[in-house]
A and B are shown apart, each in its own frame.
Chain A
Amino acid sequence: MNKIKLPLKVGIIGYGKVGRIRHKCVENHPHLELIGICDSDPKALHNSKIKHYGDYKQLLDKNPDIVFVCTYNLYIPEISIEAISRGIHVFSEKPPGRNLEDVKAIKRAAINNPFAKVKFGFNHRYHEGVAEAKTIVDSGRLGKIMWMRGVYGKAGGQGYDCNWRNNIELSGGGILIDQGIHMLDLFRFFCGEYDEVKSFVGNSYWKVGVEDNVFALLRNSKTAQTAMIHSSATQWRHKFLLEIYMEKGYLEIDGILSSTRTYGRETLKTARCVLDDNKYPLPNPQENMTYYDNDNSWRDEINEFVDCIVANKPINNGGIDDAVKTMELVQRIYCDDNGKPNLGADSLSRRALYGRVL
């Protein structure tokens, strides 16, 4: 087994908004040392003293211990596979590529190079409200989960129609693969796997070549646990709401702390089902609210990643298997059981939406 030498040398590939966030996390971690940043645009570094590389392979040639892959989805598989095959640990942003084939290719590389740890940025698991809800669910004090309902929506926003996230060549899909994927990951985080999927994928407003609204129902046929997601780019306000209903009560995570703070104050609502004298539930039980002030999710997921590397522990959150299973759900939502796109009557042509990617 290779001996770990601290600090771990880090390279960042892709220096947009997320790359810069990762840079700060690396700077603040005592076991990490940044050795270089790769971005096609040298101006992106804003005169930083950090060594700039125009080609990611040149950065990999410097033998970093870890690379953060913060590029467009298109480039994630190629870069991740190259890094993994060199024995470099990879932390990649989500989604893990543009489609299921992409992430399966990364998985094959990971299986062939078991030394390299691979983790994806499903940072919502590390939000305090989500973590506290998970503790409550796992304690069993409110019984088993019966169903979940998640809304993750945005108002599109300035330049939405020109954003790379809506360029199918670069992204692989629209609002679901970009933002809704977090909600799918949380469904799995809380409740495990779903084998039945029904969905409507549509484009209601933005003429961008990818979906702007997805409605999907997921069910585990053995446990009957069901989840419903609405992922939307026509919410006209930023909204995050995850409702978790259990046998003896419920949890609701309303709002999620983000860098822009536009998704509202992160709040966890908890309540127990109250029964009347005849053991029937009373409406409107007492609810308690917990408000969270800080978003440490970016820091905490990197801390966990580094801990796994240093202690040679498996990646339990956001690892390659999580990535494959979540992308399987994305693919099943995008396509019906026959592999054809699930498109509403108002949608774009199938070929424009999915013909080149799925």
Chain B
Amino acid sequence: MKSVVFLDDLKESDIRPEKMYDEYKELLRQDTLKYFSDHSLLVKVACPGCLNKNSKGVFKKDGFNYCICDKCGSFFVSPRPSDEALRDFYKNSRAGIFLRKKFLTNTLESRSKNIFSYRIQWITGLVEEYAPSAKVFLDYGTRYPTFMKELDNTGIFSSFFSVKPEYFGQEDLLPKNVKTAEAKCIFKEDIDVFAAFEIVERVFSPRELFRQASAACRKGGLFIITSATSSGFEYQVLKEHSPNIIAPDRLNILALEALTNQIEKSGFEIIEVSTPGRLDVEIVKRVYEKNPGIPLDSFWKYIFNNRDANALHSFQEYLQQFRLSSHVRIAAIKK
């Protein structure tokens, strides 16, 4: 198994401009009240990381109850909206529309440079090394038609599928060879690469997603995901104070080991687990500077007050090296 570290600089404002992100979160808060205020429609769930049923609510955020699993350490919302309610929310809520039409559109150039290009490098390398004959690519919950276009431009794949896409109203941006599918899983062992970028956090059941990926991939096919992880520095240190714990966008912030265990149990062999997140230290520092009263260990306060940017950069690099950043990417091969 391997892990990858990226040593270049990325600022959170490059991909999440603060003002626009705050605007989005405010809309999310208002829409949440509108869509999910009837708690009788919410579904109580066991820990999506390890199925432990005994976790209790630890903090509330925007009307949602977040639990931290005392067994595997995953953060998750319970009770939560059903799959159908979530899909309706992402499609029709003002927050969902704002996210697509304004937030993602305005940050597209930066995302292309700082996120998509890395993903494409990643996919290219994995295919060269592990699946050189790959032709069929499936993107689950597609949110970025532009990414599909950039991937298509590499010429690696001859056909693309987009399952349960979330690019509502932006279909014309897709390359012409993308077929979309709303069905839960219409594929059976014929997919070469099954990708789920930033989807694990949003789906009602990550376990069901992994099961679908396993059913769809051919033997030797690749399953690749990116996700937030509760094992990372940002979430471990800030917990409810993290600006990125937002519901329902992040219903599941699973622990690293919970993610890998579930993927392995679904019939995959893990070949890479990396936490290439580059923002943990910057985010924690910024939260502390904006709100010095938050319960932060004095060691972190000391570092932020007394060490320069080089030290912080090295610390972020350390987090990446030892899989302690809050953004994880995993690649696995179908057995």
Contact = CB atoms under 8 A, between A and B. Distances in A.
Interface of A: 128, 131-132, 135-136, 139, 286-294
Contacts of B18: none
Nearest to A294: B1
Nearest to A289: B5
B129 A291 contact: no
B6 A293 contact: no
A135 B321 CA distance: 23
B4 interface: yes
28 contacts: A128-B2, A131-B129, A132-B2, A135-B128, A136-B125, A136-B128, A139-B128, A286-B6, A286-B7, A286-B8, A287-B7, A288-B4, A288-B7, A289-B5, A289-B7, A289-B321, A290-B2, A290-B4, A290-B5, A291-B3, A291-B4, A291-B5, A291-B321, A292-B1, A292-B2, A293-B1, A293-B2, A294-B1
Nearest to B276: A288
Contacts of B128: 135-136, 139
A292 B6 CA distance: 15
Nearest to A265: B321
A131 B2 CA distance: 12
Interface of B: 1-8, 125, 128-129, 321
Nearest to B1: A293
Contacts of A135: 125, 128-129
B2 A291 contact: yes
Contacts of A291: 2-5, 321
Contact of A289 (B4, B125, B129): B4
B251 to A, nearest CB: 30
Contacts of A289: 4-5, 7, 321
A293 B2 CA distance: 6
B265 to A, nearest CB: 20
A289 B125 CA distance: 14
B5 A288 contact: yes
Nearest to B9: A286
A143 B308 CA distance: 38
B222 to A, nearest CB: 14
A136 B129 CA distance: 8
Nearest to B317: A289
Contacts of A286: 6-8
A128 B125 CA distance: 13
Contacts of A139: 128
A289 to B, nearest CB: 4
Given A289-B321, A293-B1, A293-B2, 4 more contacts: A132-B129, A286-B6, A288-B7, A291-B321
A139 B4 CA distance: 19
B3 A290 contact: yes
Contacts of A131: 129
A293 B7 contact: no
A171 B283 CA distance: 58
A288 B6 contact: yes
A292 B321 CA distance: 11
Nearest to B272: A290
Nearest to A128: B2
Contacts of A290: 2-5
Which 5 A/B pairs are nearest by Cβ-Cβ distance? A289-B5, A286-B8, A135-B129, A293-B1, A292-B2
A203 B2 CA distance: 38
Contacts of A292: 1-2
Contact of A293 (B3, B4, B8, B125): B3
Contacts of B2: 128, 132, 290-293
Contacts of A288: 4-7
A135 B127 CA distance: 10
Nearest to A292: B2
Contacts of B4: 288-291
A126 to B, nearest CB: 13
Contacts of A293: 1-3
A353 B313 CA distance: 51
